Structure 1
Amino acid sequence: ILRLKGLTSMLTFSIFSAVLGMLQFGYNTGVINAPQSTIEDFIAKVHHDRTGQTLSPTLKSFIWSVTVSIFAVGGMVGGFSGGYVANYFGRKRGLLLNNGIALLGGALMGLSKLATSYETLIAGRLLIGLNCGLATALSPMYLAEIAPKRLRGALGTVAQLGVTVGLLLAQIMGLPSVLGTASGWPTLLGLALAPAVLQLLLLPFCPESPRYLLITKARLPEATKALIRLRATPNVEEDIEEMEAEERAQQAEASISMCELLRSKALRTPLIIGVVMQLSQQLSGINVIFYYSTALFTSAGVEEAVAKYSTLGVGLVMVVMTLVSVALIDRAGRRTLHLTGLGGMFIFSIALTVFILLSGGETGRSWIGYLSIGSALLFTVFFAIGPGSIPWMITAELFSQGPRPAAMSIAVLVNWAANMAVGLLFPLMTS
């Protein structure tokens, strides 16, 4: 990316600052995986201390499912609100205000053990989900609007890179030798405060989206100033002309709401494409790997310690393959990469299922368990090639400035709804 023309120091700084929101999303998606058994023990202990009764396996599984999936409920609300927040506060200010929610959510999760309350943990997960839902709407929108045209594809993939780095950090910090312990898991969850604090410190030095300033707010001098900072040159006439042409072409759609977007026949096809792309990402089952891979590998006969390090391998594969997809995105094209990724996931999800069935959960047949780990890693490779990043960027690319916030809200809402369904239903399906 650094060799591509147009990537100035201010643009790089702004990209890094905005991508912290996606890192937050990745971290809180993966952080709940490794300490599952430890947190389940905490839930059971709190219940026993309150009632004097042993928590039934079914109820414990249900409370755990709610703890995992409530994150997606918050994400749905945040994603649905993203368009309104983006238009009312602006992209940059919306991201800044969003960190207040992250600080509260991270504090609640970190203090839940001290408060001996799994409800506090669930409330923290709900708030951090709300924060991540807003981030998944605002960050890709901000990135798409500050990037020069030739860099938009690569920068859309950088948003997914933030997610994968967050996942990897969560998996590293969740190892038993780090914070994945009975005493360390509250700190592990409370570390969600760190990206929020860092973004609060960095984002004030970044310019607002020039497109937002010019097209939504009609502030040409401020938009020009923002562009000069981002491009590191006073010659920004080409960008201004492009935005003004977009404004003229979309003037009738300047304030499209979600209801108007849903009723618009002219915009129905791009909306359907955006929604189906989000569904293809989530219903592929990738979040089963992110949320439950440790339990999945254990059920395939792999020892728990090995399963936890294998989960770390999933995160590492995601980061490496997302970097590969940055180089491929504008050469191979969105459609080709997305279909290739889904095709590979289709094959290796079948392989994963077969190996888990053959293992029968017997630790003595762990060689089959290792084949299931290999299948999961290859499944993740193909996810990172296309389905991991393309749905997040495609909606911003399919819509012009007017309907873009409403379209992003609908697409992100659908993504989080499917995310919640997978997180809630998978433990019940496994049992």
Structure 2
Amino acid sequence: MNKREMKSLVLYPYPMEYDGQSLQGHYLLKGLKENGEDAVACSRYNQEDKKVFYEKYKPDVVFGIGFWGDVPELVSHPLANKMTPVPWLNANGCVFNYHALLNSLPLILATSNWVKATYIRDGIKPDNIHVAPIGYDPEIFYSRQSYDPEVRRMRKEVLEIEDDELMILTAGGDVTSKGAQEMIKAIAKVQDKLPKWKYVLKIWPSKSAREHGRDEEKLIAELGLDPDKFIYLSEKYDPHKMSLLLNSCDIYAAPSRIEGFGMIQLEAQACGKPVISIDVGGPRDTIIPNETGFLADVESEIKLNSEWVSKRMGFETRHRIKFPEPKTFAYRANIDQLAESLVKLATDSKLRNKMGKAAAQHAYDTFNYRITAKHIADLVKKYVLKEKQAVSRPIDNPVHSFITKRVYQR
């Protein structure tokens, strides 16, 4: 291929909403275009629009954002129309189907080393899958001073948290999967060692999240914690409002039970906040232990011997698949280590500031969406379009250098 702009069609939940996959596709598209590549977006489920782009735009590659269950839309459809798909995949614990199709591709992108390891464990060949972390927008997510008018309004008027109160934050589609129950147990262990505090739990409004929330409320009561110290937010936040929420907190905590990447953990670091998380999954790729946050050991794993599969997953009938060996579908963080990390950060403002500054610099240097988009374009040009010397040397590529150091060992 001659040196020219790479033409890319990016398939994701489009028009953009504020969920993780939509933002993942949005930042890839934005980064490619700002880096001088030619790129357009399309809904991954709009068959007619996809065909129009195939015929009229004639992309060199078709990026697809999703997980293995989206292969029919992200891989099969482009291939049927003589396009070159490059899926950028997350994982949900196990890869049940489409192995032969995925193994036929020249390149698969995984959002983290853990995702890559999961696909390889479940039968995807290792030589065509490469790690490509998700980017964030540093013009939206950046560290603001506590006296910033918008931050003060969020903290004082919306959350009603006083200046002398420590704010802990966990956010996600639901906070249970982000490790909120483990953090609640950690707080209960050391509440006598903590200064005045409030714990903000931000969820995406849904029936599932509300049902999980009742479990958190029950746990709070069982542990004898003051329910007034917990603040629940259940509404959709756009990226700007989310950045204000992150800037309002003192500590971001998300020892996730399963995390393919950890977008909000990255955004929290970008906003200058130290993060408490778990030493498995995506957080191992985004957090520098003891420098930008603390990673608790895995206390236990939730393993399954079998699981149900269905027509929606590409099978002819609904049936149960038995695994040759039990497979891990979730993790639990070590409560004592979470509690220890919480006390360290809660009682030492200088440590919070030091780690927060390091976190913001780390996020900007490594996960700026322009950098992550270039990393992806370089991989495509080398492994798919076969341009010579397309991929930057590791020393010149901060994404490649960092993720190589943090390779996940299963």
TM-score, length basis structure 1: 0.26
Q: Report the structure, 1 or 2, having the larger strand content.
A: 2
Q: Which has the higher contact order (CA 8 A, sep 6+)?
A: 1
Per the normalisation by structure 2, the TM-score is 0.26
Higher helix share: 1
